[in-house]
C-alpha cells in the first residue's frame, strides 16, 4: 500500500491521503473578494484528488494584503464572494478545504509579480504604508513601514479573529496561520526584522510572543473540533537570522497551545538570503521539526516526482507533502502519482472514462465498461 495515499489526520480532521495542495496566491481578487478566476482555479484544484486543498494566503485586514489584488476575508463582501466559490467546489468534490490567514506586514502594498512585484509607495495610486514590528524596510530602496504599537497589534489580532470566525461560518475545515516568507508574523520572529526593545523584541521568547498571541486568539475563535496549524520559515538563510533551532522552540510552544501541525517552508524575510534550491531542499527541516516536537509536519519545496513524495512519507521525514507550482503545471498530479504508486483517488464520475486501461483501479468507486 502506498504511504503517500494512506489516510491521516490533522487534529480531528480526517484526510483521504497525504497530498496537500499548497496555498498559492493568484492575485485575482477585487477589494479582497474572490471572483470568476477563483471559481475556475479552485474548481479545477478541488478535482485534483488531493487530501487537502489550502486556499491561498488570505489577508485579515485590507492593509495586510501583499498586493491590491490579494484575496481577503475582512468584510462581508469577501465572505459572501468566497462562499459562492466554495459552494460550487463542494458540489462536485469531497476534498477538505483549509484557508491560510495572514498579514503582509512590511511586504504589503506591492505590485503583482507579472508587473514586477516592487513596492507601491504610499503616495502612489493603490499604495498604502505597511506595518511591521520595527520601522525597517524589506529592501534598502523601499519605504519604511510603521512600527506597530499596542493598538496596532490589537487591530491585527482582531483581524485574525474576525477572519477565523468568517472561515468557520463558511464551513472551512481548517486554518493555517501564515508565519513564514517574511510576512508580519515571521517579521516578529526574526531578529533581522524585529529590533524592538519592549516585551515583543530581543529574546527569542519575546519575539515569539506576538505570533503566539495570534495563534491563541485564532484557536479560541475557531470551532474546537477543527484544526489550526502554522506555516513557518525554518530558516532565513542569512547569518544571524531565524534558524531551525528557534523554529523548533517556536513549534514546541505552539504544540503546547493546541497547534495541530507545522507546514515547513523557508526564507523570505531578507533579500540577502542565500538559497541553493534543489529537489526536496526543505524536507530536512520538516524532518527535524517532526523529530524535535512530535508534531505532524507538511514538507514542501521542489517535491515533483511521485516516488520522491512517497519516500518522504515512507521514511518518516514528514507526514504529508505539499505541492504548489507542480499542481499548477499538472492539475492532475495526484491522479498520476496514484497511478504510479498503485493507489486510488477520488474523481468525479464524469472523468472516470479518462483512466487508461492499465490503471483500472485508479479512481475510487469507478465503474468500468461504461457505454
- Output the nine-digit C-alpha cell for 149: 504599537
Do residues 38 and 55 touch, judged by C-beta distance below 8 A? no
Catalytic residues: 183
Three-class DSSP category at 63? helix
> What is the model's pLDDT at position 273?
96
Per-residue pLDDT of the chain (371 residues; tens, 9 = 90+): 899 999 999 999 999 999 999 999 999 999 999 999 999 999 999 999 999 999 999 999 999 999 999 999 999 999 999 999 999 999 999 999 999 999 999 999 999 999 999 999 999 999 999 999 999 999 999 999 999 999 999 999 999 999 999 999 999 999 999 999 999 999 999 999 999 999 999 999 999 999 999 999 999 999 999 999 999 999 999 999 999 999 999 999 999 999 999 999 999 999 999 998 999 999 999 999 999 999 999 999 999 999 999 999 999 999 999 999 999 999 999 999 999 999 999 999 898 888 777 766 788 876 554 44
- In the CATH hierarchy, which top-level class contains the domain 8-359? alpha beta
CB atoms closer than 10 angstroms to residue 7: 10
- Predicted pLDDT at 317: 98
Domain locations in the chain as residue ranges: 8-359
User: pTM (2 decimals)?
Assistant: 0.96
Report the Cα–Cα distance between both ends of the chain, in Å, rounded. 31
Cβ proximity of 304 and 333 under 8 Å: no
A 10 A CB-CB count for 315 gives 11
**Rounded Cα distance, 249 and 254, in Å:** 9
Q: How far is CA 59 from CA 15, 17, 151, 192, 222, in A?
A: 26, 28, 19, 23, 17
User: What pLDDT sits at residue 352?
Assistant: 86
pLDDT computed for residue 45 by the predictor: 97
Angle formed by the axes of helices 333-341 and 306-314, to 10°? Answer: 70
pLDDT at 360: 61
Q: Is the dihedral of CA 284, 288, 294, 300 positive or negative?
A: negative
pLDDT score for 47? 96
Contact 118, 110 (CB under 8 A): yes
β-strands 52-59, 228-233 pairing: unpaired
3-state secondary structure of 170: coil
Q: Given this model, what pLDDT does residue 364 score? A: 81
Amino acid at each position: 500500500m502506498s504511504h503517500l495515499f494512506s489516510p491521516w489526520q490533522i487534529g480531528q480532521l480526517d484526510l483521504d491521503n497525504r497530498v496537500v495542495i499548497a496555498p498559492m496566491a493568484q492575485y485575482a481578487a477585487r477589494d479582497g473578494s474572490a471572483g470568476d478566476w477563483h471559481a475556475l482555479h479552485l474548481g479545477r484544484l478541488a478535482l485534483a484528488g488531493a487530501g487537502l486543498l489550502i486556499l491561498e494566503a488570505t489577508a485579515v485586514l485590507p492593509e495586510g494584503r501583499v498586493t491590491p489584488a490579494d484575496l481577503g476575508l475582512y468584510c462581508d463582501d469577501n465572505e459572501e464572494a468566497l462562499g459562492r466559490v466554495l459552494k460550487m467546489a463542494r458540489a462536485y468534490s469531497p476534498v477538505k478545504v483549509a484557508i491560510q490567514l495572514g498579514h503582509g506586514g512590511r511586504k504589503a502594498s506591492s505590485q503583482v509579480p507579472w508587473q514586477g512585484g516592487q513596492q507601491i509607495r504610499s503616495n502612489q495610486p493603490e499604495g498604502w504604508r505597511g506595518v511591521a514590528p520595527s520601522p525597517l524596510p524589506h529592501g534598502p530602496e523601499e519605504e519604511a513601514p510603521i512600527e506597530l504599537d499596542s493598538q496596532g497589534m490589537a487591530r491585527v489580532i482582531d483581524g485574525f479573529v474576525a477572519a477565523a470566525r468568517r472561515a468557520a461560518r463558511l464551513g472551512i475545515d481548517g486554518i493555517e496561520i501564515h508565519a513564514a516568507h517574511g510576512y508580519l508574523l515571521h517579521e516578529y520572529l526574526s531578529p533581522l526584522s524585529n529590533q524592538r526593545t519592549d516585551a515583543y523584541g530581543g529574546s527569542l521568547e519575546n519575539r515569539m510572543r506576538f505570533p503566539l498571541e495570534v495563534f491563541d486568539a485564532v484557536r479560541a475563535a475557531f470551532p474546537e473540533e477543527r484544526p489550526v496549524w502554522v506555516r513557518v520559515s525554518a530558516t532565513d538563510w542569512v547569518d544571524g537570522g531565524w534558524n531551525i533551532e528557534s523554529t523548533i522552540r517556536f513549534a514546541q510552544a505552539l504544540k503546547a497551545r493546541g497547534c495541530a501541525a507545522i507546514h515547513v517552508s523557508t526564507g523570505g524575510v531578507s533579500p540577502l538570503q542565500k538559497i541553493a534550491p534543489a529537489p526536496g531542499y526543505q524536507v530536512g527541516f520538516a524532518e527535524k521539526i517532526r523529530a524535535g516536537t512530535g508534531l505532524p509536519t507538511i514538507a514542501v519545496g521542489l517535491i515533483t516526482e511521485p516516488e520522491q513524495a512517497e519516500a518522504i512519507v515512507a521514511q518518516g521525514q514528514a507526514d504529508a507533502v505539499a505541492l504548489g507550482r507542480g499542481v499548477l503545471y499538472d492539475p492532475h498530479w495526484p491522479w498520476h502519482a496514484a497511478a504510479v504508486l498503485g493507489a486510488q483517488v477520488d474523481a468525479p464520475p464524469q472523468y472516470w472514462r479518462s483512466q487508461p486501461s492499465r490503471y483500472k483501479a485508479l479512481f475510487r468507486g469507478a465503474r468500468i465498461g461504461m457505454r
